[in-house]
Structure 1
Amino acid sequence: MSGIEAEKPSQPDAPAPVPEQTSSQKLAAELLSTDEFSQYMLNTKNEMFAVFRGMVDHVSQVTMFFNEGRDMVLTCMISYNDNGILLDLGPSQEMNRKALEAQRLFCVTLLDKVKVQFILRGLKQVETKSGPAFFAALPDSVLRLQRREYYRLATPITRPLICTISFPAIDGKRQTVEAHIGDISGGGLGLVSLPIDLKIETRLELGCKIDLPEVGVVTGTIIVRSVSESATRSGVKSKRAGCEFVKLPGPMLTLIQRYIIKVERERKARESGMG
């Protein structure tokens, strides 16, 4: 019997109360639901370090839940390297002691309006030049869940959208390649069938040009937020990259919105038999 049941016994025929999920359990469910969130999981050091760099630079507050969500410590990431991460101690010595005894800690923070979550497998207290701190081994993965502020359109297969990418080559001249756009929104785009390797956090100044059929041409700066590789059933591999627009001018955003509305109207017309 739980403590609640001991204090207030239920009637003999009454159904047993269903305990609510704790915050820690909800976080764990998200982190472990790989089928639903696998595309947002960052598994390599380079990917995780890109997020950690932002957390350190922005002094992002991290909430660590443990003991099935009954306890928590507010902290910030101090630094990170191949061996692990350093975090500030919390303000409560008692909570710090409990955190050191916990075997799993569920960490959550916000970075540029994006929810970031990861699991730590225990903490140690260490001494640094700035004083005592928590040390933890690197997490196995980091979940980065983008809060979508824009409607994302999967581009039509019959009328593929092309992005012309321009970037500096080794000889100093600019090189241009083309890639298909798998999806697009006012916040960014997904590139598929990439003919080149793009690294996470690569910033292409005015290196993106998109010809939106019957709407106009969008040009802007993009930054690479994720990279991956997929393979067809025949074994053909394809490189993908998720890119974010950087301070896209208002007129360019309007063009993208017009294109999305146009494609959606055409789709609905076809579905209703009017197209």
Structure 2
Amino acid sequence: MSEDTDSGRIEPVRYDEEEKYLLRNPREIRQVLQSLLDRRSLISAYPAPRHHTYPTALIALDEDSGQLLIDGSLQEPVNRIIEQAHHLTCVAQLDRIHIQFRLSQPVRTMIDGQTAFRTAVPEQLLRLQRREFYRLQVPLTQPLTCELPLPRGDGETEPLPLRVLDISGGGVALAVPADRPDFQPFREYDNCYLHLPDADPIPLRLMIRSLFRQVGHNGRETWRAGCQFTALPRGAEVLIQRYIFRMERQRSARERGIA
């Protein structure tokens, strides 16, 4: 069964902004779901309306009944949240393509003594192939930071360095302390600075697009803030893509045993 972990988590995007990437043909939707099932792809599931996420995978796809089985959590409190959810927003990657779909009213069941959830096959599925959504998860051993000017009690601002969880040509996901109530979806921050290795700090403007609560293995609560670049200086996107490509090459080399 799935364990709760931060590795591989991918944030959802808004359906209303990506209408042209939606699949509605039942056969095409089942083909994508079957590929996720065959590869045992990691899925990040977001129960609504709670700000929570848990890693899971598809267990079975029954085309005759139009039902899906999805893995439960090893943690019973998480299973109770799922059981009470109106729906799950599920996010995954398939051949570096962003996959997203919604599962309505999950019903708890048991498979071989383990918790699972049964739900109907989704009626639509987002398959997003735009380049900027190919996200690089930033290694903990080679951290990145992004500074945001946040208000102090005296009305002034001070730069707060936040750890970058992942990065793409379109934005970053940031680890935000739980005690920062000033972080709200669609709030925009000017005069931010992204710190890439071997480069000058990049000035930019960010808009928060999503916020998700997450609890680490040490019990520490943080928020994952998905942020969109709303203004970049000339040449900044090239620097970001160059960094992503370099890190991908290093990762591939390590996997092949070259480095």
> Are the aligned partners of 2:135 and 2:168 in contact in 1 as well (CA < 8 Å)?
yes
Which consecutive residues of structure 2, in runs of 5 or more, have no partner in the other structure? 1-22, 34-41, 52-98, 105-123
1:261 aligns with 2:231: no
CA distance in 2 between partners of 1:116 and 1:149 (Å): 16
Which of 172, 185, 204 aligns to 2:168? It is 185
CA distance in 2 between partners of 1:235 and 1:189 (Å): 24
TM-aligned CA deviation for residue 174 of structure 1: 1.2
Residues 237 and 217 of structure 1, relative CA distance in 2, 3 Å threshold: same
CA distance in 2 between partners of 1:185 and 1:217 (Å): 17
CA distance in 1 between partners of 2:204 and 2:224 (Å): 19
- Equivalent position SS for 1:201: coil
Look at both structures and tell me which one has the larger radius of gyration over its CA atoms. Answer: 1
- Equivalent position SS for 1:199: coil
Residues 117 and 156 of structure 1, relative CA distance in 2, 3 Å threshold: closer
1:152 aligns with 2:135: yes
TM-aligned CA deviation for residue 36 of structure 1: 3.9
Which consecutive residues of structure 1, in runs of 5 or more, have no partner in the other structure? 1-20, 46-114, 121-142
> Are the aligned partners of 1:225 and 1:244 in contact in 2 as well (CA < 8 Å)?
yes
Residues 42 and 226 of structure 1, relative CA distance in 2, 3 Å threshold: farther
TM-aligned CA deviation for residue 234 of structure 1: 3.5
- Equivalent position SS for 2:201: strand
Residue 93 of structure 1 aligns with which residue? none
TM-aligned CA deviation for residue 213 of structure 1: 0.8
Q: How many residues align?
A: 162
| 4+ aligned runs moved over 4 Å, structure 1 | 21-27, 115-120, 143-146
CA distance in 1 between partners of 2:236 and 2:136 (Å): 16
Counterparts in 2 of 1:105-144, with a 5 A limit?
none
Residue 130 of structure 1 aligns with which residue? none
Residue 10 of structure 1 aligns with which residue? none
> Are the aligned partners of 2:24 and 2:125 in contact in 1 as well (CA < 8 Å)?
no
CA-based RMSD of the aligned residues comes to 4.0
CA distance in 2 between partners of 1:244 and 1:144 (Å): 22
TM-aligned CA deviation for residue 201 of structure 1: 1.0
Residues 146 and 37 of structure 1, relative CA distance in 2, 3 Å threshold: farther
Which of the pair has the greater relative contact order for Cα pairs under 8 Å at 6+ separation? 2
TM-aligned CA deviation for residue 219 of structure 1: 1.7
